[in-house]
């Protein structure tokens, strides 16, 4: 038998071994047996020096071709083995591959926490449209057409008498028209104002308004509800500051500040270096609002309040820029999963 026949037989044997092997160790054995320093193909190459020049070239070329073919088949078989596992390779005890999932946005988390707190205090939840009429957004809440307080709202007008609501208080006006006291409601939702975007203000933000109407409701009830909420939400050690203020739909009115948690009351950019951060406005419902809704203001009284969700979130999580809530930066949002 000639040397070329030997090479052909060795190649056939090596390829058969490769096709019948199913492990990396078996492939390595084939490589060592046929291509190693003491392998069959290497042994053939060592005999070339004893052959005539013409035979040496022919057999040498054939041996290199066989060697290359065996190497390529081993490499191909290894690649297939690494990408294709059999049932016996599956371990059911291993943890599955985790898939990325979404989560509730931090503002919705805070709004849900606020609603849950007030719900525990006996408030029901009501909602209304984002696009309101001028009547419910202003007139029903004691904003006459020429009232200067309208300028404070920086209203975004849609068309005709339609506006993007500047607060969620219109839900209060709608609810009072269709329900009889006693009424105890919170109204969470998105609001809009034409404001310059800064660290503390945005054109779109969220509010939770609340009101209670019944016989004998006093400002002491209002203060008790606000103090109870703040202590439940921020902790028993929270410090509050009630300041006289003005809102067309409440009289008397007040604004409530909470000591700035970011700077511990020393003063920072978030609290405008005052040590306090305004979180809500409140007051006793103006009798005109009750009369507009068809409720006897001589018999019933009530209180109302409205708080900003973004400011509550900034205070609770020590965030110094409201724009972070709307930039959709995944690095920021992942902190609140």
What's phi and psi for 14, nearest 5 deg? -65, -45
Give CA–CA dist 114/34, Å, rounded: 75
Tens-digit pLDDT profile for residues 213-253: 999 999 999 999 999 999 898 888 888 999 999 999 999 99
Q: Provide Rg for the chain, Cα atoms.
A: 39
SS3 of the chain: helix, strand, coil, percent, to 5: 45, 20, 35
Which residues, 6 or more positions from 89, have their beta carbon under 8 angstroms from its beta carbon?
Answer: none
pLDDT at 197 over 60: yes
Q: Would you place residue 310 in the very low, low, confident or very high pLDDT band (cuts 50, 70, 90)?
A: very high
Give the model's pLDDT for residue 171.
Answer: 95
Give the model's pLDDT for residue 264.
Answer: 66
Question: Which ranges of 165-292 would DSSP assign to H, the alpha helix?
Answer: 170-178, 219-234, 287-292
Give the model's pLDDT for residue 87.
Answer: 52
User: Using an 8 Å Cβ cutoff, are 317 and 261 in contact?
Assistant: no
User: What's the gap between Cα 97 and its chain centre?
Assistant: 22
Torsion angle defined by CA atoms of residues 58, 59, 65 and 66, in that order, rounded to the nearest 10 degrees? 150
Angle at 18 between CA 13 and CA 19, to 5 degrees: 100
Give CA–CA dist 19/14, Å, rounded: 9
Specify the CATH superfamily of domain 106-336.
Bira Bifunctional Protein; Domain 2 (3.30.930.10)
Give CA–CA dist 155/193, Å, rounded: 5
Domain residue spans of the chain:
3-89, 106-336
Question: Which ranges of 155-294 would DSSP assign to H, the alpha helix?
Answer: 170-178, 219-234, 287-292
User: Using an 8 Å Cβ cutoff, are 107 and 313 in contact?
Assistant: yes
User: Using an 8 Å Cβ cutoff, are 234 and 226 in contact?
Assistant: no
pLDDT at 53 over 80: no
User: Using an 8 Å Cβ cutoff, are 284 and 302 in contact?
Assistant: yes
Give CA–CA dist 252/303, Å, rounded: 10
Tens-digit pLDDT profile for residues 259-291: 877 676 777 776 778 888 888 999 999 999 999
Token pair 């946005």: residue: 105
Torsion angle defined by CA atoms of residues 183, 188, 193 and 198, in that order, rounded to the nearest 10 degrees? 130
């Amino acid at each position: 038998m000639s040397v070329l026949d030997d090479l052909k037989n060795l190649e056939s044997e090596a390829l058969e071994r490769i096709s019948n092997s199913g492990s990396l160790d078996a492939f390595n054995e084939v490589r060592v047996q046929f291509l190693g320093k003491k392998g069959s193909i290497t042994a053939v190459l060592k005999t070339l020096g004893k052959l005539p020049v013409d035979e040496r070239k022919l057999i040498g070329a054939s041996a290199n071709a066989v060697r290359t073919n065996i190497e390529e088949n081993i490499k191909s078989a290894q690649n297939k083995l690494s990408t294709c596992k059999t049932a016996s390779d599956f371990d059911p005890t291993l943890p599955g591959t985790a898939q990325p999932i979404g989560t509730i946005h931090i503002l919705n988390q805070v709004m849900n926490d606020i609603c849950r707190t007030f719900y525990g205090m006996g408030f029901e939840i009501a909602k209304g449209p984002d696009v309101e009429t001028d009547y419910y957004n202003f007139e029903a809440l004691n904003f006459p057409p020429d009232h200067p307080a309208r300028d404070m709202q920086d209203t975004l007008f849609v068309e005709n008498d339609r506006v993007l609501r500047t607060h969620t208080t219109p839900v209060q006006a709608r609810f009072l028209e269709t329900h009889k006291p006693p009424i105890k409601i919170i109204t969470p939702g998105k609001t809009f104002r034409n404001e310059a975007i800064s660290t503390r203000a945005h054109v779109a933000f969220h509010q939770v308004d609340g009101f209670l109407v019944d016989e004998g409701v006093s400002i002491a009830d209002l203060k008790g509800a606000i103090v109870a909420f703040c202590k439940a939400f921020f902790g028993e050690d929270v410090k509050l500051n009630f300041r006289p203020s003005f809102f067309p739909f409440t009289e008397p009115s007040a604004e409530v500040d909470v000591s700035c948690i970011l700077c511990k009351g020393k003063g920072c950019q978030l609290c405008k270096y005052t040590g306090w951060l305004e979180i809500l406005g409140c007051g006793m419902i103006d009798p005109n609002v009750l009369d507009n809704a068809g409720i006897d203001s001589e018999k019933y009284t009530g209180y109302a309040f409205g708080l900003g969700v973004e400011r509550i979130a900034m205070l609770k999580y020590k965030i110094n820029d409201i724009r972070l809530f709307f930039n959709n930066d995944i690095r920021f949002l992942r902190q609140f999963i």
